[in-house]
Structures are given as C-alpha cells and as structure tokens.
Chain A
Amino acid sequence: MKAEWLRDAPIGRKLLFISLLTSGIALFVVSIVISARGAIEWRDRSLADMGIYAKVIGSNAASAMLFDDRNAANEVLSALSANPDVVDAVLYDNEGRVFARYSVPGHAPAMPFVHQGTHLFTVGQLIVSEPVQFKGEVLGALNLESDLHGLYRGLLRDIALTFLAAGGVFLLVTILFSRLQKTIVAPIVELADAMQGVSARQDYGVRVSERGKDEVGTLTGAFNIMLGNIQSRDAELVRQQEHLEAEVARRTASLTAAQRIAHLGNWEWDVVANTLHWSDEMYRIFGLKPQEFGATYEAFLQAVHPEDRQSVATCVQSALDESKPYDIDYRIRLPHGAERNVHAQGEVYRDEEGRPLRMVGTVQDITERKRTEEEINNLAYYDPLTGLPNRRLFMDRFRLAVSLSARSNRYGAVLFLDMDKFKTLNDTMGHDYGDVLLQQVAQRIQGCVRETDTVARFGGDEYAVLIEEVAKLANDASKRVALVAEKIRSALARPYSVKGHAYHGSSSIGVNMYCGSREDIDTLLKHADLAMYQAKESGRNAIRFFDPDMQLALEKHAELESEMRQAIAKQELCLHYQIQVGDGNVPLGAEALVRWQHPQRGLIPPGQFIPVAEESSLILDIGHWVMDDACRQLAAWGRKEDTGNLVLAVNVSAQQFQLADFIEKVDAVLREHKVEPSRLKLELTESVVLADVADVVAKMRRLKDMGVKLSLDDFGTGYSSLSYLKALPIDQIKIDQSFVRDIVSEPNDAVMVKTIIDMARNFRMDVIAEGVETEAQCEMLRELGCKSYQGYLFGRPVPLAEFESLFCRLRECRG
C-alpha cells in the first residue's frame, strides 16, 4: 500500500520524501549520537567532579582526622552545601566507622556503602568513594552521594537543544529542497505533460523546450526527435492509409462493377453461426433488400424455387458432409413472383478436425444466358416462323423412326410437300403475306396428323411430315397414309384468308413408305421429294407415291445435265430460226431457238433440256452462247443487202437477266460482232420482270438506250399485271400461243387478245402473236389489230440454211 503510494506519487513528492527521510534519519542518528555522547560526557564529568569534590573535601578533612577533630571534619563536610547536587557525604575512618557526616535536610540517609576508590551509579544517584590521604597515608574514605536529577535536567536540556537544532536543520532542508527540487522536477513535469498531451490529442507537432544539457535535457531532446520521427512516420502512414483506402475503394468499386456486369454475386456462409453475408449483387439477383433478408441458410432456401429447393439442400449437404463440389444450377423465385436461373458454386472451409466452418461462393444470374441458349436451341431445331421442327430435328426423328420401324416391323411414311405456285405468290404479294400463309399451312398440316407424328418445315414452302408406326402390312399402311395425305391435301386446298385477302392455294404431296433400314433416310427423303415433283408435274394439287420409274427419270435428268455441260464445249448446240412476219407476210426477222444436236439421241428440243439447264448455272452458259451465236448471225446477215434489216429475237432467261453485268455482256457481244443493236431483240419472260421491277426497269432502260429492242414473252400466262406493264420500257408484247390456239373457237381468248392488243396500242407497243398455225387464226388476229405473227403457218424453226431459203422465197413471193 505504502510502496504503491510511493510508486504512484509524483516525482517531486517522491524526491522530497526520499530527501526528508534520509536527512531525517541522518539528523536523528546524529542527534542520538550527540545526545548519547553528551550523556556520557555529563556522566564522566559529574563522576570526575564528584571525585574531585571527594578528593578536595577528603584532603581538607584529612588533617581533622589526623587530629581526631570531628567538629573540624563536620565543618569541612558542610562546605559541600555549596553544591546542591551533593545530598550526602560520609567520612569513614579506616575501621569503617563514620567519622563525620553531612547530608541535606530531608535526605533519607540510606546511602549504600561503596568501597573506597570505586563509584556506584543508580537511577537517581551517584555515589563516589574516595580514600582520604595525608602525605601518602590513608586515613579513611569519603563517600559522596550526588543527586542525579540536576544532571538529568542538564542532559535533557542538551538533548532537547540538539533535537531542536536538528528539527531546525530538517525544516531548512525541507524548505531548501522543496525549492531546489523544482529545477529537476519542473522539466520532467513539463515533459510528462507534453507526453500526456501528445498521447491524448495525438498531436505530434508539439515540441518541448529544452533546458540545459543534463539527463532531462537529453531526454527532452530525444523526445523531440522521437516526436519528429513519429510525426513524419505518421504523415507517411496517413498518406499510405489514404492511398490504401483509395485503392480499396477503387478495387471495391471495380469489383462491384464487375459483379454487376457479370451478374455475379458472392456470398459467405458462417456454417457454425448460420449467418450469411451477401454482396450487393447477390441482393440484386435475388431481388431482395438487405433488411428484408434473414441472412440465414433457411432464408436463402426460402428464396430458392420450391421445385429446386431439395436439390440445392442436398448439394449443400453433400458439399459439407462429403466435400463434393458445390456446383449447381437452380431457379430462384423473386419476391414479386418472377423466376431467375442462377449458377452457383462454392467451397467449404474446415477446421483442423475437418468440421465445416465456412462456405464461400458465387451466384451468377444466368437467366439471360438460359434464354439465349433456349433460343439458340430452338433456332437449331425449330423453324422460327411456324414453330415447327426444322430439317435437322426432323432428320433426327426420322432416323430414329426408321430404326424403330426395323424393330417393330411396322411401316411408316415420309411426306414431302410444297405449296403450288407459292413463289409467285411470295413475289407478287410480298414476303409478309407469304409468311402468314406458311404459318396457316403449318397449322393445317398439324391439324391433320396425330400428335406423335412430326410436321417440319424445311424452308421456303417445303414441308415434311413423318407418320410413324402405321401398319405391318404394306397395303394397309399405304391405304392409311394415302388417307392422311388426302386429308392434308384437301385441308391445304381450302381457301385461305391472309391479311384480309382470300387466297386459293394447293399443294403437291410426295409420299415414300419405309420399313426397316433398306435405304438411308436421305434417300428416303429424296424419293419423297421426287414423288412430290411427280405430283407437281401431274398438274399440281395432287398426291404421288414414290415409284422407281420416277427415280429413273431423275437419273436421266442428272445424266442430261452432265452431258449438257459438255455440249457447249463440243459445239453440239445450234440455233434454229423461226420466221416472224408482218402484214402481208413480209419477213421482219426471226426468233433464234436453241437446239441440242445430241450425238446419240439426235436433235433435242429446248423444252427437254432448258428446264434442266435452268436448275443450274448452265442456263447462263447456254444463254451466252445463244447471244453470241445470234449476234454472229446478225453480223453475217448485215453484210448482205437482203438480210441487212432482219431483226433477231433471243430468249433471255431470268437468271441471265439478273446477272449484274448482263448489260455489259450484251454490249460486249454487240461490239464484238459489230452489230447494230436495234437488230437484236431480247425476249423476256414475265418471271424476269416480276423479280425486282425497279431493277428490271432500270436495266431495260439502259438496254433501250443502247438501242436494243425488248419483247415481253408469253404475255398473259403468268400473273402479269397490266398495271405495271405501263412502267416497262418494252417495244413489243408477244401474245402467248395458248391464247392464239383457241382464238377462233373461244370468244374469251379473243377478248383477252383484243384487250392485250388495245392496251399495247395505248402504250405504243407492238404486238406479235406466236403459235399462229392457221389462216383463220391469222385472219382473226389481223382483225383484232395484230400486225406481226409467228408460227407454223409461216414457218417452223429451222436451221439457218432452210431459214435463209424460206426468207428468199418469201421475198421473191412478195417481190
């Protein structure tokens, strides 16, 4: 307690205490020593004094004893009354008898006997015995008793004085020290205050004034240096801290942004305390606010979609129990009911004994990705327009169905169908219109088949239907499939209502039966396709089952195509010329018609190979060859006077016309053969015109500008609309032979022809009729206003030599 007090006391008080204690003890000891020494001195002195007294008195009394004079002896002793301390004196003779005596009045006479030459100290008295001698002879002894109270009084006075002096010195020391200690303590106190202030206010800018060069001065100097160091380090620390905070803020912001961009949140689950910590993005993903979320595992499970809750809980449990990776996709249910797909991953942290402590992981919002994946999946397997399976999915199912049928031994069928003349509809009414129709077609087909059957759209207006597990017997199966096909056909033949317009369409359906896997699915499908073509060729709106003959035709077709490819190089193509005449059978020119002089099969008419050529780019090569050859012939005719004015008409296929450099090619050919452009007439079919009216018109105008004549072939057969006819810079309209054929017998056709001729006249176009075979037809046409003719009546298409002779004959006839 005391030691504590001393320890906790201020240094000033401590110093004071120490100095006072030491000086107090020193003074006390010194006082005691002085007092003791005083006491001894007093004792010795009083002993000596008493001895001297005894000697003197004894000496004085000696003579009295010598002469046995007691009175004199008493008289001598009575002199002791001068000293009040002496209370008793007894003079003994040598026999020990009392010779004389002196005592102060009232003194008890009991002085103990003391042998001569000795002394006795008691508490209150000093007894001295001195021998009485005279000239060396001992006469007796004188015993003196001194009362010591006087001595004690003196002694006490001395001691009191000593202690008084010591007390004074102590006081002086106290005052002096308490003043002097300030020179030591004050700087320390100042230093201590400064230190306290520094630690209380954290103000390291404070400096303590240095006084002197003693230890405190050194300490102060060192303290100031230390403060300086701390201040600079502090500043450095603050700088570092700020830098770190800024860095942390930057990185946190960056991480938050990264999480937001990635839709990735992170979480930490304290398994022991069951507390969940979620990042901001986690709350965003879950559509929760921190204050709405319980932040426990159970609260989290509550947010999981009820159907996925069990699997999430199982996954978490196996991660905790069996260290299986926590990697799971699940759905969550947002507070307002929406759903999200998330991908979660996590790791478990364990203590040394393997008990799970924490689980840390991420949750990524993959809703968008899932949706995209589904879309991609749909795009990959479904037709976006109709929602039907696409070719890929169909082929998958078809493959499966074929192998199934091998096992079940039941027949199935694949139907291939397209809408008749759909392309024309699409071209004339626009794609939107066509798309709507395609959707309705899809619905109608689906309405005709079982749910288990597959309806697919292959693109354009091509559909495929897979009818599985129909029957074991081929006959039964064929009958049932025929029923289904008929059902589809009739359903598709019903009128449509597309965007408020009524439309009448029809379909051509090819059917191929399968059972087992004799053929691969591609072949099976191709044969269905073939059957469909057959149906189309049979006049459309029809159903055809695949048969091997059809396949044979197809093979021929392919053979033809390859032979045709070589025909150009082998110069097997040639031009035949059919004459075109004006009024009075005046030859105006001819239409150049291509013929294939096949080495084995002889002359092949264009109807047999041109459609095949049109299916590939061969038609371009043929077209170019025709153009070139026709121009060469024009050049040859141009060199003769008779034939110098003949105009040669050349058929241009749609593909050819659509070539970007078609004009340039025509120009190049004309220049090569130095042919007057106006002698070349290009016959364009309606299909050419219908492709892209604006582009076609532009091209036509350029051709017209060059001087080339343009003729619209097969007018009236297609969807030719009179409305846009006006916009076309055409020189001539060719009336199709189908109108001409029955013009005499069919009044409608005559009206039609009349209308065309009138219209052409209005547009200042020429009209030529083809397929004129009889005089009656010719007469009729002339009556209707037609001026030019072509047909067997005037001449068949013939080789050049025949044509030229026919031409000469006609001129001569005329001439």
Chain B
Amino acid sequence: MLAGVSKILRFAALCVLSVCIEAQAAPTGEYEVKAAFIHNIAKFVEWPAAATGAGKLRLCILGDDPFGGNINVLRGKQIGRLVWEVTRINAFADMKSCQVLFISASGHDGIGQIRKHINGSAVLTVGDTRGYAEQGVMVNFYLEENKVRFEINRAAAARAGFRIDSKLLRLGRIVSEQGGGK
C-alpha cells in the first residue's frame, strides 16, 4: 500500500519536474540547445570501454560556466547505462577523469595545454569558440542563421580513441587541424 502511494507520488513529482523543464526550455536559449546537443552528440560517440567503467558520464566545464541553469537539462538523462554528472573544474588536474570536457571561451588560452594534459585519455573535448576545432577541440559549436551548429575534428577524436557515428559526421562540419575546415 505504501509502495503504491509512493509510486504515485513519484510519478506526480516527475510530472511536475518535466513541466518545469518544458517551462524553462520553452524560451529556447542558446545554451540550453548546446546542453541538449552535448547530450545528443554523446549518443553518437563511443567511448573506449575503460573510460566509462564507473557508469558515469562526467561533463566537466572548464572555465566560466556559460550554461548556468541550462545545464540541468542533462540531469537524470542517460545514454545507455551511463548517467550524466556535471562538474565545474578549474584545474587541469581533474581533466583526465572527465568523459566530456566543455572548454568555455574563457579557458581559451590554454588549448594546447589542455590537449597536452589530457593526451592519451578518452576525453571528448567540446567548445563553442570560433577556431577551437582547428586547434584540436573535437566538437565545436557555432551559430548559423541563428541556429546552433557544430564542427567536428575527426582526427582529434580518432586520436583520442573515439569512434564517432557517421550520422553525426554527416550533420556536423568536418574540420581538419591546420587551417580552418569548412
């Protein structure tokens, strides 16, 4: 009896929550979209087995947090058995434990550093700053006709041991490291 009541209550809570989400998502903000994109992109990316042993997808935000509350979009979402965990980091030291690393514009000065630091680790790097892709960030968002689009650096991803679904590749703009891609 108690279990039935709790079930109903949980369902009700979920409903309230989802309404809340919708309410927040309704004025589709740029970072809300980007947060959803991160989730979607993650779906097309296959981590090496060792990298996801803890059953968590750790999104690390490096630098200023542009998302704000928008990042809550990911909360509770799963990809397969992996559950999102969002962390804001400032030090390089924590980088290797992240599965996804969002590098905000403020963290721009040290791309090379970051690359060096995480070299050899299966960390999907994501940014939204022009030129990041060419610098080795694996996925980089940009705006086109007021719509969020993304670029993909296949080489960088491949180096890190990711396998990216061809469908994602077809949607994103493929960028090579030297010189800008199209």
| Residues of chain A at the chain B interface (Cβ within 8 Å) | 60, 62-64, 66-69, 72, 134-135
Contacts and interface: CB of A to CB of B under 8 A. Distances in A.
The residue in A60, A63, A69 that gathers the most chain B C-beta atoms within 10 A of its C-beta is A63
A63 B167 contact: yes
| Secondary structure class of chain B's binding surface, majority of residues | helix
Contact of B40 (A60, A67, A72): A67
A76 B171 CA distance: 11
Interface string B162-182: 000101101100000000000
A272 to B, nearest CB: 120
Contacts of A63: 44, 165, 167-168, 170-171
Closest 10 CB pairs of A and B: A63-B167, A66-B40, A67-B171, A69-B171, A72-B171, A63-B171, A135-B43, A67-B40, A63-B168, A64-B171
Contacts of B167: 60, 62-63
B37 interface: yes
6 contacts: A63-B171, A66-B43, A67-B150, A135-B43, A135-B79, A135-B80
Nearest to B147: A68
Contact of A67 (B37, B80, B165): B37
A66 B148 CA distance: 12
Interface of B: 37, 40, 43-44, 79-80, 147, 150, 165, 167-168, 170-171
Given A64-B171, A72-B170, 14 more contacts: A60-B167, A62-B167, A63-B44, A63-B165, A63-B167, A63-B168, A63-B170, A63-B171, A66-B43, A67-B37, A67-B40, A67-B150, A72-B171, A135-B80
Contacts of A135: 43, 79-80
Contacts of A64: 171
Contacts of A72: 170-171
A77 B37 CA distance: 23
The residue in B150, B168, B170 that gathers the most chain A C-beta atoms within 10 A of its C-beta is B170
Contacts of A69: 171
Nearest to B172: A67
Nearest to A66: B40
A62 B168 CA distance: 11
Contacts of B147: 68
Contacts of A134: 43
A66 B167 CA distance: 11
B17 to A, nearest CB: 18
A69 B37 CA distance: 12
A66 B168 CA distance: 10
A779 B167 CA distance: 226
A64 B40 CA distance: 11
Contacts of A68: 147
A108 to B, nearest CB: 31
Nearest to B166: A63
Contacts of B37: 67
A72 B169 CA distance: 12
A63 to B, nearest CB: 4
B38 to A, nearest CB: 12
A734 B144 CA distance: 223
Nearest to B169: A63
A579 B43 CA distance: 222
Nearest to B39: A66
A205 to B, nearest CB: 101
Nearest to A137: B43
Nearest to B168: A63
A298 B102 CA distance: 156
A674 B170 CA distance: 208
Nearest to A60: B167
A134 B39 CA distance: 13
Contacts of B170: 63, 72
A134 B167 CA distance: 11
Contacts of A62: 167
A135 B77 CA distance: 13
The residue in B37, B150, B171 that gathers the most chain A C-beta atoms within 10 A of its C-beta is B171
